[in-house]
Structure 1
Amino acid sequence: MNDIFKALNDATRREILELLKTKSMSAGEIADQFHMSKPSISHHLDILKRADLITAEKSGQFIFYSINTTIMEDVLQWILTFKK
């Protein structure tokens, strides 16, 4: 759970998750949405992958990223355990 909260603690990573809510995207498509280097975006994607918040699937020479809704549902369920 610590990796998940570390990943969610960064605004850029939260923006990447917002982008992936509607469709899978390649790293290049994601990078085009930000004013930072591609290696920086790659670092953010790696952190999201390690936290299992996104999945990566290779298609030809491209890697497409998708949001992992299962882990998001698990996090939400955990947060709801604090409800009074």
Structure 2
Amino acid sequence: MGLHDTFKALSDPLRRQILMILREGERSAGDIASELNITPAALSYHLNLLKKADLLMEYKQKNYIYYQLNTTLFDELVMWLKQFGGEESEK
């Protein structure tokens, strides 16, 4: 996926909330839905968009699917954004 998909995924406040929850560590879909007070179907829609943008990774453990941030993509995004900032003064 390209930057367009990443920024599109980040444009939604609910998806940003999901990322903030996952910043604290991995969570199951049920935990995320409960915390945000949304239906599993609505959460699934948002999780799929975040996964397609490579912002999330998932893994299965027994009957649960756990989600976590793809920190590699965030590192790449920060590096890309830094090219637009001014240079810091060196002391």
TM interval, shorter chain, is over 0.9
Gaps of 5+ in 2: 87-91
RMSD: 0.8
CA-CA distance at 1:35 after TM superposition: 2.6
Could you say which residue in structure 1 is the equivalent of 2:21?
Answer: 19
Could you say which residue in structure 1 is the equivalent of 2:46?
Answer: 44
Range with bigger deviation, 58-67 or 31-40: 31-40
Q: TM-score, normalised by structure 1?
A: 0.96
- 1: CA distance, partners of 2:39 / 2:33: 8
Is residue 2:65 matched to residue 1:63?
yes
After the TM superposition, list the runs of 4 or more consecutive aligned residues in structure 1 that deviate by more than 4 angstroms. Answer: none
CA-CA distance at 1:52 after TM superposition: 0.4
Could you give the per-residue CA deviations for residues 14-52 of structure 1, whole angstroms, max 9, x where no partner exists? 000000011100000000011321100110000000000
Q: Percent identity?
A: 38
Q: TM-score, normalised by structure 2?
A: 0.89
Is residue 2:30 matched to residue 1:28?
yes
- 2: CA distance, partners of 1:34 / 1:18: 11
Gaps of 5+ in 1: none
